[in-house]
C-alpha cells in the first residue's frame, strides 16, 4: 500500500462571554464523514500555516478571529482511503471570535454548533480532539492570570 504524508491547518474558534469567565467553542460536522471536528484544511501555494488556518476557518464558517499565537496544538493520526495509507498531521491554532454568526460552506460542512466545554467534550468525534480541547481550556485559563 502506498504511504502519503498529509498536513492540514485549522482553528479552534473560541467565543468569550462579556464577563470573560465563560467560553463557547465552535465545532463543525463534516459532510463527508458526519464526524464532529474543528474547522481545518490544506495550505495553498505560498501560504503560511497560520494564513491557511485562518482562510480555512473563513471559508468553512464565514468567521474571522484573532489568533492567540502562543497556543498551537498538533494532532497526528493514520487512515487508509482508496488503497492509500495516510499519515496526517493537523496543526490547530486558537482563535478568539468576536462576531459569532456562522455561514457554513455547504459542500464541506453539514452542521455546526457553538457549545460549552462540557458539551464539546460530549460531541467531538475523536479522543485526541477532546484532549486538545482540555489543553486549550487550561492554556486559556493560564493566559487570564
pLDDT at 75 over 80: yes
Residues 31-38, mean pLDDT to the nearest whole number: 95
Tens digits of residue pLDDT in 60-70: 999 999 999 88
The enclosing domain of 90 has a CATH number of 3.90.79.10
**pLDDT above 90: residue 76:** yes
| Average pLDDT, integer, range 41-56 | 96
Q: Which domain holds residue 41?
A: 2-144
Is the pLDDT at 13 greater than 70? The verdict is yes
In the chain, the number of structural domains is 1
Q: What is the mean pLDDT of residues 40-58?
A: 96
Residue 38: pLDDT over 80: yes
The C-alpha torsion from 120 through 20 and 49 to 100, rounded to 10°, is: 70
pLDDT at res. 22: 82
Report residue 53: phi and psi, to 5°.
-60, -45
Burial grade of 27 (CB within 10 A; 0-12, 13-18, 19 or more): buried
SS3 49: helix
Question: Is 60 exceeded by the pLDDT of residue 145?
Answer: no
Residue 74 in this model has a pLDDT that exceeds 70: yes
CA of residue 89 relative to chain centroid, distance: 13
* Distance from the first to the final alpha carbon of the chain: 50
Would you state the pLDDT for residue 98? 85
What is the reported pLDDT for 100? 81
> Is residue 28 packed enough to be buried (19+ CB in 10 Å), middle (13-18) or exposed (0-12)?
buried
Give the residue-averaged pLDDT of 113-137: 96
Gap between the Cα atoms of 16 and 40, Å rounded = 21
Q: What is the reported pTM? A: 0.92
**Residues composing the chain:** 145
Q: In whole angstroms, give the CA distance from residue 33 to residue 138.
A: 29
Amino acid at each position: 500500500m502506498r504511504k502519503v504524508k498529509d498536513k492540514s491547518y485549522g482553528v479552534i474558534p473560541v467565543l468569550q462571554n462579556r464577563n470573560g469567565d465563560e467560553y463557547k467553542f465552535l465545532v463543525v460536522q463534516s459532510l463527508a464523514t458526519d464526524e464532529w471536528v474543528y474547522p481545518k484544511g490544506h495550505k495553498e501555494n505560498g501560504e503560511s500555516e497560520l494564513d491557511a488556518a485562518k482562510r480555512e476557518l473563513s471559508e468553512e464558517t464565514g468567521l474571522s478571529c484573532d489568533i492567540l499565537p502562543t497556543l498551537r496544538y498538533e494532532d497526528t493520526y493514520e487512515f487508509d482511503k482508496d488503497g492509500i495509507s495516510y499519515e496526517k498531521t493537523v496543526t490547530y491554532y486558537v482563535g478568539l471570535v468576536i462576531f459569532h454568526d456562522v455561514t457554513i460552506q455547504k459542500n464541506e460542512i453539514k452542521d455546526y454548533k457553538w457549545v460549552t466545554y462540557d458539551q464539546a467534550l460530549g460531541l467531538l468525534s475523536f479522543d485526541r480532539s477532546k484532549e486538545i480541547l482540555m489543553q486549550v481550556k487550561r492554556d486559556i485559563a493560564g493566559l487570564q492570570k
